[in-house]
Amino acid sequence: MTSVAGAAEDGDRRNVSDVVGVLVLGACAAWSLITAAVHDGRPEGVLLALLAVAAGYAAGRISGALLPVAAPCATALTALGLAVGLPRLEPGPEIVAPLGHAGATAALLTLAAGAACCAAWTTASPALRLLLRLLAVGIAVTSAALGSVSGLATCLAVLLCSLAAGQLRHRGPGLFGLALAATAVTGLTWAVAGSAVPDGLAASLRGRLTPHRIDLWHDALRLARENTALGVGPGRFGELSTTAGQSLLPDGKPHSAPLQMAAEQGVIGVVLLAAAFCWLLYALWRSPRSTPVVLTAGAALTALAAIAAVGNALSFTMVSVGAGLLAGLATAHPLAEEPAPS
Instruction: Out of 96-110, 116-130, 133-147, 186-200, pick the least confident.
Output: 96-110
Question: Within a domain: residue 337?
Answer: no
Whole-angstrom Cα distance, residue 213 to residue 215?
5
Whole-angstrom Cα distance, residue 13 to residue 98?
45
Whole-angstrom Cα distance, residue 112 to residue 13?
27
* 339 DSSP 8-state letter: P
The Cα-based distances of 196 to 152, 190, 191, 202, 309 in angstroms read: 28, 8, 5, 9, 17
Whole-angstrom Cα distance, residue 60 to residue 325?
5
pLDDT tens per residue, range 34-57: 999 998 899 999 999 999 999 999
The Cα-based distances of 213 to 31, 98, 140, 205 in angstroms read: 27, 9, 25, 11
Helix (H, G, I), strand (E, B) or coil at 94: coil
Whole-angstrom Cα distance, residue 223 to residue 260?
10
Residue 32 · residue 43 · CB < 8 Å? yes
Whose CA is closest to 256, among 330, 325, 307, 292? 307
Question: Within a domain: residue 4?
Answer: no
Whose CA is closest to 323, among 45, 99, 11, 104? 104
The Cα-based distances of 101 to 69, 270, 297 in angstroms read: 30, 24, 23
Question: Within a domain: residue 1?
Answer: no
Residue 300 · residue 308 · CB < 8 Å? no
Question: Within a domain: residue 212?
Answer: yes
Please report the pLDDT score of residue 2 as a whole number: 41
Please report the pLDDT score of residue 131 as a whole number: 97
Question: Within a domain: residue 342?
Answer: no
Whose CA is closest to 72, among 304, 289, 308, 281? 289
Residue 158 · residue 110 · CB < 8 Å? yes
Whole-angstrom Cα distance, residue 140 to residue 34?
41
- Residues spanned by the domain of 266: 9-331
Helix (H, G, I), strand (E, B) or coil at 340: coil
61-84 average pLDDT score: 94
Question: Within a domain: residue 40?
Answer: yes
Question: Within a domain: residue 221?
Answer: yes
Instruction: Out of 136-140, 154-158, 195-199, pick the least confident.
Output: 195-199
Q: What is the pTM of this model?
A: 0.92
The count of domains in the chain is 1
Question: Within a domain: residue 300?
Answer: yes
Please report the pLDDT score of residue 12 as a whole number: 62
Q: Map 300-321 to HEC letters.
A: HHHHHHHHHHCCCHHHCHHHHH
316-342 average pLDDT score: 86
